[in-house]
């Protein structure tokens, strides 16, 4: 009898479960999801996803739900435009008291002496500017400009990610041509549109779905079969997140709460390939699978004072859960009926604590660092596998990320980021064959705010700005050599590694 059984048991039952989601609950899949591996939004991915303390768009429900309480980039941009328009209107009336264009209000137009820095070389001026940025007014509160009305956001994104994973492990469908491309939709609603409380309060939702067309494919995975933990089929599932963020202390303190769950639904389980004899075997039963939605909360805080911003986020673990399934298979040779229960625990995503610190030396620069603690050790095998396969333990990991953003112009920003993501998978010298790599991550990105007021033919048509974001990421996967205690033709020594290029693009509309 074969040892490649379900969960390592002497008999092999390959269960392929196709789950068509009927009800759509809010879902948040963290450490192995598209958002965590490639970024939940190009604006964050361009900064290496180091945005726990500063995120302020629809992706805040993924990175830190408290960010929904912040003013968005569009809010800040529109508020600045409104200020400039008021100054222009005031400048058009030179008799107005206190007008900035009035020499009496601003001193002489031309000063007889040159300014302090006018004779300095350009590189010295930059040096003095950086020095002042890190030493002056570090803890000075400056109230942010606010637009005259509230704005809502809807964001569309698409990401192409086709991993180049090189390995000589035993081939199967799980590791052939993995494709991690996905699409996304984000939405935020400013609830001050209903009742103005004098503080920002927003509801947000963000959804990421596979570009393969499969809404959800679940396999009760045999850990002895080589499979990537965070690429390919293990990522092929939707990620839907929601939450509410509130500004508690104006411009300074923000809090948020979100909800997480796996969408519930039903489908069928088909038993096939039951090789207990040399002759073909067919299963004679098909049973209905019921998935239970597991709803878990997420929490977040952000605090800003002077040029510093702090952020922290807590997310519960999520996984798929199903009742034990009574199923029966019958061999055609011996006429033996076999009963078994399938207890599903797959697509696990660990509990995550996130911490972030950001510093803004001036109006243009942002420097940010993040640390995520992912508690993978809570992973468990299904009941069948726990009884028959060898133990499987995953390591807790700490991910560190650095990001920066620079505003070349008020409407043009460039970004960069680096990060280190260790693998939770230990060395696998026995029968288990989970595959994952330590990753060094490098990213660049850019953002452009398209404003109709800057284009005459759009001035009366495009009423609100549109933000375009793009991010390009390269992940270098450290090569792994697996040496088995007892190598065999079915469980040989092997190695794997590679790299992943990905590109993400989004367009955000405000209304």
* 99-108, 116-125, 152-161: least confident range: 99-108
Q: How many helices (H) and strands (E) does the chain have?
A: 7, 23
Which distant-in-sequence residues (6+ apart) come within 8 Å of 118 by Cβ?
Answer: none
| pLDDT band (50, 70, 90) for residue 496 | very high
pLDDT in tens, 303-325: 999 999 999 999 988 776 666 66
Average pLDDT over residues 111-118: 44
| pLDDT band (50, 70, 90) for residue 9 | very low
* 11-20, 55-64, 275-284: least confident range: 11-20
Q: From 474, 499, 376, select the one nearest 48 (Cα to Cα).
A: 474
Residue 245 has what pLDDT? Answer: 97
Average pLDDT over residues 406-413: 93
Which distant-in-sequence residues (6+ apart) come within 8 Å of 485 by Cβ?
Answer: 429, 430
Residue 484 has what pLDDT? Answer: 94
Structural domains for the chain: 42-82+147-510 (2.40.160.60)
| Maximum Cα–Cα distance across the chain | 107
Q: How many CA atoms lie within 13 A of 111 on its CB side?
A: 7
State how far the Cα of 226 lies from the Cα of 231, in Å rounded to an integer: 12
pLDDT in tens, 352-380: 999 999 999 988 999 999 999 999 988 87
Residue 48 has what pLDDT? Answer: 96
Residue 34 has what pLDDT? Answer: 86
pLDDT in tens, 456-468: 777 778 888 999 9
pLDDT in tens, 412-437: 999 999 999 999 999 999 988 889 99
């Amino acid at each position: 009898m074969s040892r490649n059984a379900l969960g390592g048991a002497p008999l092999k039952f390959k269960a392929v479960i196709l789950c068509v989601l009927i009800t759509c609950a809010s879902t948040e899949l963290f450490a192995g999801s598209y958002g965590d591996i490639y970024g939940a939004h190009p604006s964050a991915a361009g900064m290496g996803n180091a945005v726990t303390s500063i995120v302020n768009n629809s992706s805040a429900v993924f990175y830190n739900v408290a960010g929904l309480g912040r003013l968005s980039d569009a809010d800040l941009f529109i508020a600045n435009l409104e200020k400039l328009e008021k100054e222009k209107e005031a400048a058009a009336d030179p008799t107005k008291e206190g007008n900035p264009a009035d020499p009496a209000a601003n001193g002489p137009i031309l000063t007889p002496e040159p300014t302090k820095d006018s004779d300095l070389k350009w590189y010295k001026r930059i040096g003095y500017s950086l020095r002042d940025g890190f030493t002056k007014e570090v803890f000075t509160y400056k109230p942010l400009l606010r637009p005259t009305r509230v704005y809502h956001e809807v964001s569309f994104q698409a990401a192409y990610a086709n991993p180049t994973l090189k390995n000589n492990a035993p081939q199967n469908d799980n590791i052939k041509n993995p494709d991690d491309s996905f699409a996304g939709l984000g939405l935020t609603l400013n609830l001050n549109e209903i009742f103005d409380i004098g503080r920002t309060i927003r509801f947000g939702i963000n959804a990421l779905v596979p570009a393969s067309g499969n809404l959800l494919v679940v396999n009760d995975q045999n850990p002895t079969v080589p499979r990537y933990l965070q690429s390919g089929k293990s990522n092929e599932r939707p990620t839907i997140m929601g939450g509410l963020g509130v500004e508690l202390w104006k411009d300074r303190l923000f809090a948020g709460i979100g909800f997480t769950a796996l969408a519930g639904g039903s489908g069928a389980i088909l038993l096939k390939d039951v090789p207990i004899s040399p002759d073909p075997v067919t299963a004679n039963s098909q049973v209905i699978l019921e998935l239970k939605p597991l709803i878990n909360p997420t929490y977040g805080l952000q605090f800003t004072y002077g040029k510093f911003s702090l952020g922290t986020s807590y997310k519960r673990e999520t996984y798929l859960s199903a009742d034990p399934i009574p199923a029966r298979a019958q061999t055609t040779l011996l006429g033996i009926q076999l009963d078994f229960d399938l207890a599903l625990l797959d697509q696990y995503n660990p509990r995550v604590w996130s911490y972030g610190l950001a510093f803004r030396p001036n109006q243009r620069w942002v420097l940010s660092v993040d640390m995520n603690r992912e508690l993978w050790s809570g992973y468990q095998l299904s009941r069948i596998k726990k009884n028959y396969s060898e133990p499987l333990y995953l390591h807790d990991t700490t991910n560190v990320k650095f990001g920066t953003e620079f505003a070349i112009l008020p409407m043009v920003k460039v970004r960069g980021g680096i990060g280190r993501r260790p693998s939770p998978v230990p060395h696998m010298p026995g029968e288990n064959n989970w595959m994952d790599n330590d990753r060094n991550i490098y990213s660049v990105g850019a953002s452009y705010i398209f404003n109709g007021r800057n284009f005459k033919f759009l001035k009366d048509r495009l009423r609100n700005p549109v933000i375009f974001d793009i991010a390009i990421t390269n992940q270098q996967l450290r090569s792994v050599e697996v040496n088995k205690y007892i190598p065999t033709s079915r469980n040989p020594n092997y190695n794997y590694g590679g790299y992943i290029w990905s590109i993400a693009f989004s367009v955000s509309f405000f209304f």
